[in-house]
Amino acid sequence: MFDFPSIQELAIRIPVFLLALTIHEYAHGWVADRLGDQTARLQGRLSLNPLAHLDPIGTIAIVLIQFGWARPVPVDARYLRKPRRDMMLIAAAGPVSNLVMAAIMAGCYRLVPWNTLGSGWVWLADPVRHMLGAGVLVNVVLMVFNLLPIPPLDGSRVVSGLLPLRQALAYSRIEPYGFVIIFLLFFTRIMDPVLWPAVHQISRVLVQMWG
């Protein structure tokens, strides 16, 4: 039987996911804008407002399956100065932003003296601490997942930029089947032995590096 998350779990999970997805998409748009493509800016997507990036199905998925997605920020390679290199940088910006967010949240989780806060702050301190811990995990999951070399995930854009042009074109032909491959991997859990150890190890390192 499917176990629905509690209200408390949703209250922590949804804001954390929305923040992680918003920063991820904003990073794509910001780097594209800096490299000459203003498509995201002109469409109102160069924004830190989560409403600008929400995907209805992806948001519902956060509630139901504890994972979700946002609407991809539009990028038009015609406006980029060096399209292959720039598309690779734009793609990498999303996962890098999640790594930075995870590191910042890990620092707050580790360095704030939670146990010394007065009893009057417990009502706020406990939820914030849990949210920061969840934020580290969520951002690392999004980073690792998006680095998978399966079109249209960010990792595939990076791989494509590194391949010779002929091989990159052949590689791009996988994209129409990308979402089918991703869903099969997700629901069959074939990648779990690789993904989850990587996620937990990276999360542990980010927390421990703060001393």
**What residues are annotated to the active site?**
25
Look at residue 23 and give its three-state secondary structure. Answer: helix
